[in-house]
Homo-oligomer: A and B are copies of this chain.
Amino acid sequence: MTADVSYDPRSGATAASVVHTTPAEVEQLVARAAAAAALVGQASPATRRAWLAAGADALVDNREELARIADWETALGWTRLDGEVVRAANQMRFYADVAVEGTYLRAVIDPATATTPFLARTNVPLGPVAVFGASNFPFAFSVFGNDTASAIAAGCPVVIKAHPAHPLTSQRTFEIVHAAMQAAGAPDGIAALVFGYETGTALVQHPAITAVAFTGSQAGGLSLWKLANQREVVVPVYAEMGTVNPVVITPAAGHDITAIADGFVQSFTMGSGQFCTKPGLLLAPRGSGATAAIAAALDSLAPEPVMLTSGIAASVTRGVAELQSAGATIAAQTPPAPGGWSSPAVLLSAPVDLLQRESRLLEECFGPVGVVVEYDDLDEALEAVDRLQGALAASIMIGEDDPDAASVLSRVERKVGRVIVNGWPTGVAFTWAQVHGGPWPATSSPATTSVGAAALDRFVRPVAYQGLPDQLLPPPLRADNPWGVPRRVAGVLQPGAQP
């Protein structure tokens, strides 16, 4: 395949296709990014904010066109996609604000003492970053999504590999945002868009690439991670990958099962179940009627959801069959839909002891598929959680003054990057505190997050300056603090000029 073909998942009809980037073009684009690295890295955070804000404005100005193209290519629905364009724009503004606030630089100045020299530290940008767009969020985790916005905010140019599930959306988004950023004064090399699987491989292997950001499947993320580890100069791969996000319902919470059942169905079928935070396994006390209640909630759902690609639709069918082979049984599923790449939304149930024997039940099944397990004893449920892979998020449903809340929390939090109480893991707010990451293999770099203020931390490294005269120090460390960043001076935190 030498082109990414644009398909309508609702019918399988094809439109235009986008030709894959050639190796010579990749060389040229990476060289342009490398040439822009010093300009982008040395620009003040406020200057980078102006560039990102121009891109964000352009996204919002073109939201109707972008959402229309994306809805045709992804079938995720115009309303959601229109909102996602706005979200992507707000993310760009948020990361730019985080950069201007300046804590991410972790500036520290240790004046000389009788026994130690003058030492000052700041974070510096890594250089060109390869960003792999995700299939499931054509705006928020794609061309100018979280990874790109946080990398540019941190001072790194990006080379973006478009996901083949929505080539036209990717191309049009890039054109609009890149032109607006350039018009605002950003160097041409601040961002580039490339197409093709081999192109992605070449990017990860390119000596000028200093980091890789990826959102997608475990197979995809781990193969990039392995590739990067084979480089002469190994670079970090920030792969945020799919795993099972568990839900534990304590005995005290079990009385509210109808509301929980509705919430579970809504959460695991949202976006056709194509969220990396989809709750895949629900553990409920036996006697709570969880299985029947969830089955009933699913029965009232519309016909089969439409998947992004024929490949994903096939993998859902395969995944359900694997879960059945492992001993789970189908408790409910949505009625068939006509044509296109639809897959039934499926609820499976399994006996709790099966989780001790069948590892397939502990792995992700991408798509609108949920597994419910009723336990006799809470310890059985927690032992199943112990056996799960590291995950992005987990939900705990607890009651008032729940005697089990603290112990369930302490067992569950070991496994995840985010714990939700009496809520669902889908929906990832981009705020200062957010963590969208988790223990291996939810993330290949488990102390990092791809969403939230700390997303910038992935694209910088610290440098210490010993004995440098003031005029040679980078701006965050100069006596007059021209960027107004918070700093620790002689061990004491000093606030910055920005709130």
Contacts and interface: CB of A to CB of B under 8 A. Distances in A.
Interface of A: 38, 101, 103, 106, 108-110, 115-117, 119-121, 124, 229, 233-236, 390, 405-406, 409-410, 413, 416-423, 429, 431-435, 437, 439-441, 444, 446-447, 449, 452-454, 457, 460-469, 472, 486, 488, 491-493, 495, 499
B420 A110 contact: no
A418 B493 contact: no
A422 B467 contact: yes
A425 B233 CA distance: 23
Q: What are the 5 closest A-B residue pairs judged by CB atoms, nearest first?
A: A435-B464, A121-B433, A116-B429, A108-B433, A418-B464
Contacts of A429: 110, 115-117, 119
Contacts of A390: 233
B119 A433 contact: yes
9 contacts: A103-B493, A110-B432, A115-B429, A119-B429, A121-B454, A229-B229, A421-B466, A447-B460, A447-B462
B235 A463 contact: no
B120 A433 contact: yes
A398 B296 CA distance: 77
Nearest to A124: B413
A276 to B, nearest CB: 15
B423 A117 contact: yes
A11 B120 CA distance: 43
Contacts of A441: 233-234
B492 A454 contact: no
Contact of A469 (B115, B421, B453, B472): B421
A379 to B, nearest CB: 17
Nearest to A443: B461
Contacts of A121: 432-435, 452, 454
Contact of A419 (B229, B465, B491): B465
Given A120-B433, A234-B440, 7 more contacts: A101-B491, A110-B434, A233-B390, A421-B472, A435-B462, A437-B462, A454-B462
Given A124-B413, A462-B435, A440 B472 contact: no
Given A233-B390, A233-B439, A406-B472, A419 B108 contact: no
Contacts of A467: 420-423
A435 B421 contact: no
B416 A453 contact: no
Q: Which of A236, A418, A464 has the most CB of B within 10 A?
A: A464
Contact of A499 (B106, B120, B491): B491
Contact of A466 (B109, B120, B419): B419
Contacts of A410: 38
B433 A461 contact: no
Contacts of A465: 418-419, 421
Contacts of A439: 233, 461
Contacts of A229: 229
B423 A435 contact: no
Given A440-B235, A453-B108, A493-B486, A468 B419 contact: yes
A418 B124 CA distance: 12
